[in-house]
Structure 1
Amino acid sequence: MPVAVIGLGDIAQKAYLPVLTALPGLDLRLMTRDRAKVERLGEAYRIPREHRYTDLGAVIAGGLRAAFVHASTDQHVGIVTELLRAGVDVYVDKPLDHRIEGARAVVELAEETGRSLLVGFNRRHAPGYLLAQERPRDLIVLQKHREGLPEDARSAVYDDFIHVVDTLRFLVPGEIEHVDVRSRSRDGLLEHLVLTLSGDGFTALGIMNRVSGSTEEVLEVSGGDSKRVVVNLAEIIDFRGQPSIRRRGDWVSVSRQRGIEQVVLHFLEAVRAGKTLSARDALRTHELCERIVAEIARQTR
């Protein structure tokens, strides 16, 4: 099956190429505007020279069933639009765009063309977070912190906090009825952000401190007199009396731990089966992010 990887930056090299090149039945094509990079990676992964491209139109003309888009976010709308119009199913890194208008446009185009569009919210497939769904979730707290990384609000929310937003939406056990945003900015840069989502019988908190002194991600779900904690997607601690700890196995890859391998397989299986995957739910995550950005702007006036 002819599949392209478009954009060969860090995320493609560290997370996706090791997974895709190990899968049977794929006829991989690589595309980036950097000729030296595509040649180097083509040699490393033994991709035939005729399947190394520096032009999007050329890789599409070569015939594709599907594409993984890992280019910079400002290129997403243009690349995804061209692929969808060419009848190609698309997997694209989050966010679809830094503006809700661009995100909405590509989701609507995918529906018009009848093609799959899957946004790379890999945490929905991460084993630790899937296991969190086993427990009562009256209270959900997801903290995703950074060290010395204050940033403008739109970039911080759409590039990073969007994972918190989408994971909370995935884990909440009911309809979200109330949304609250609290933030602190200094000199125009976002330093911390707290999102509260609540509904019938549950509350979910998303917390990010961009000047926390550490880089970490900790999920806590509790209810029914029990609690489960997932630390950096790798370690699971259950509390009901004496705590019990499960750690990532020595031979479990980081790609599997973070759900990347699973979401890749989910997408490719849908392509092979002719099943259309919708990005409409992913768009709702983007819409909530836009709401958060607007509220941060209001609070900093």
Structure 2
Amino acid sequence: MGKLRIGMVGLGSIAQKVYLPILSKASKWEFIGAFSPNQEKGNIICATYRIPLFTSLSALAQQCDAIFVHSATSSHFEVIDYLLNAGVHVYVDKPLTEHIHQSEALIELAAKKNKKLMVGFNRRFAPFYHQLKQNITHLSSLRIDKHRCDSVGPKETRFTLFDDYLHVVDTALWLAGSNAKLLSGSIIQTKENALFYAEHHLKIDDCWITTSMHRKAGSQQEQIIAVDEDAIHQITNMNLWRSESRSRLTEKHPENWDPILLQRGFIGAVEHFIECVTNNTEPSTSGEQAIVAQLMIEKMLANQ
């Protein structure tokens, strides 16, 4: 078997900031090209990376073994359904789809077609978060905050919860346990139905979990505080780790030359997907795993 042939659908902000810089540095794979409905914009972007822009999704699918989907969430179901039926493995930005029944249908289709379907929860591959999960022995308390400086609207609350708060919930469930029970919470909205603040409290066994997000906090800050047996861990912005154990305080920082896309887990997520396709193994953020957080947010909305 030759190098894996990779393609991309959608050339928006996340594709330009994250995935094009990673995938264009092909070594273990071949970057075939991309497709965007906006051909004029797509031509400019693809020319920058010296890759072909395909004129249709079908033309791209015919040339690829696996495709990264970065189109609008509203298009996910249609695009992924087409690609899986065309025999292509799929990596997609979270959420998998807008609706649970659509996500479940795609999970069934991927199993039927024997194709990999991975959702890009990059935080599971962030080195500090991954190390924290390995170090945890007996969590009593886990708090995850992901705040924004000035990001109220323009999208409605439901969109923001699935687009951004989903990261917080998924990371919490991944670290503490997916069978957590929702106990309480609050979703505060503006008059225009945009998310202003969300906080929720969950419990799994004897571990208490708090998730929160403020959309106008004056700071772009993400933080985890994990109270474990004999240790308290605090990770800020995925690049500063402070641990206190028996009155001893230690700090960890990324290696000097670790790029930001590695620190935030994007490189690890991409390489994991490609390894899974190459070795025919199941992605750790497969469709079935990925909708656990999506289901929890549906409960949060229903209990509001």
TM-score over 0.5 (shorter chain)? yes
- Does residue 157 of structure 2 align to residue 153 of structure 1? yes
1:207-239 per-position Cα deviation (integer Å, ceiling 9, x unaligned): 111222222100111122321111111111111
Match of 2:18 in 1: 15
Change (3 A) 1:216 1:236: same
> What aligned pairs does 1:22-33 form with structure 2 within 5 A after superposition?
22-28=25-31, 29-33=33-37
2:160/2:195 contact within 8 Å kept: yes
- Does residue 220 of structure 2 align to residue 215 of structure 1? yes
> 1:128 deviation in Å?
1.2
1:90/1:116 contact within 8 Å kept: yes
Q: Which amino acid in the other structure matches residue 6 of structure 1?
A: V
% identical equivalent positions: 29
- Does residue 239 of structure 2 align to residue 234 of structure 1? yes
Change (3 A) 1:25 1:172: closer
Name the SS of the counterpart of 1:243 in structure 2. strand
Measured in 2, the distance between the counterparts of 1:225 and 1:200 equals 18
Q: Which amino acid in the other structure matches residue 267 of structure 1?
A: F
Unaligned runs of 5+ in 1: 297-301
> 1:267 deviation in Å?
0.5
Name the SS of the counterpart of 1:218 in structure 2. strand
Q: Which amino acid in the other structure matches residue 291 of structure 2?
A: L
Name the SS of the counterpart of 1:198 in structure 2. strand
> 1:116 deviation in Å?
0.8
Match of 1:58 in 2: 59
Name the SS of the counterpart of 2:303 in structure 1. helix
Match of 2:144 in 1: 142
1:178/1:199 contact within 8 Å kept: no
Change (3 A) 1:111 1:58: same
1:263 equivalent among 264, 269, 279: 269
1:107/1:283 contact within 8 Å kept: no
Once superposed, what is the RMSD of the aligned Cα atoms? 1.8
Match of 2:297 in 1: 289
Match of 2:45 in 1: 41
> 1:95 deviation in Å?
0.8
> 1:69 deviation in Å?
0.4
> 1:103 deviation in Å?
2.0
Match of 1:299 in 2: none
1:163 equivalent among 160, 163, 167: 167
Measured in 1, the distance between the counterparts of 2:98 and 2:178 equals 28
Measured in 2, the distance between the counterparts of 1:174 and 1:2 equals 34
1:241-261 per-position Cα deviation (integer Å, ceiling 9, x unaligned): 242222223311111001110
> 1:38 deviation in Å?
2.9
Unaligned runs of 5+ in 2: none
1:17-37 per-position Cα deviation (integer Å, ceiling 9, x unaligned): 111121314221211122233
1:103/1:286 contact within 8 Å kept: no
Q: Which amino acid in the other structure matches residue 164 of structure 1?
A: V
> 1:272 deviation in Å?
1.1
Change (3 A) 1:82 1:173: closer
- Does residue 120 of structure 2 align to residue 120 of structure 1? yes
Match of 2:74 in 1: 74
Match of 1:94 in 2: 94
Measured in 1, the distance between the counterparts of 2:39 and 2:57 equals 13
Measured in 1, the distance between the counterparts of 2:183 and 2:116 equals 30
1:151-189 per-position Cα deviation (integer Å, ceiling 9, x unaligned): 422012100000011001100057424442222223133
Name the SS of the counterpart of 1:5 in structure 2. strand
Number of residue equivalences: 292
Change (3 A) 1:186 1:39: closer
Given the two structures, how large is their TM-score scaled by the length of structure 1?
Answer: 0.91
Match of 1:105 in 2: 105
> 1:275 deviation in Å?
2.8
* Structure 1 residue ranges, 4+ long, deviating more than 6 angstroms after superposition: none
Q: Which amino acid in the other structure matches residue 225 of structure 2?
A: E
Measured in 1, the distance between the counterparts of 2:231 and 2:292 equals 30
Q: Which amino acid in the other structure matches residue 58 of structure 2?
A: G
2:178/2:292 contact within 8 Å kept: no
